[in-house]
Structure 1
């Protein structure tokens, strides 16, 4: 039985293009913002989490595609002294509501 992220059972060029297209659309069509730490904290450095950053709370599935991204951001923020809670749920995958 497959327990990974259901969206990524088969990554095809079409899926990759669609995901990138969604990201660029979210960024107002500005492709260069995909690696901007304001748009994506994954690309932030420890120094960008210093100052007045509120506590961060992550809920992430152990089988979802963005588990590593969530852990990375939580670790960088914690290194900067931010209060971080990271809950990882076994056998769960990503669900978008909205």
Structure 2
């Protein structure tokens, strides 16, 4: 099965899904469905994210695997964060109970 596109190859706008179908029983649902934010990532960004998760966010490990410098990895990570519409400088606050 082919991978779904998240953005239009002509104009670059976000695509919507208009039909879902069960391959087992053939049930189909039609309408306008938004894709999840990860579907709008490029293949390169998805591969980078997968490596980030596999390396448990260890940028030093990513440097070794990709053969890239720390600033390059950080730039790719910041780009990924921006594409997912998060703010790179915001750190989630965790309520620590001692």
Please indicate, yes or no, whether the TM-score normalized by the shorter chain is above 0.5: no
For this structure pair, what is the TM-score category when the shorter chain's length is used for normalisation? under 0.3
Q: TM-score, normalised to structure 2's length? A: 0.25
Q: What is the TM-score normalised by the length of structure 1?
A: 0.25
Highest Rg: 1 or 2?
2
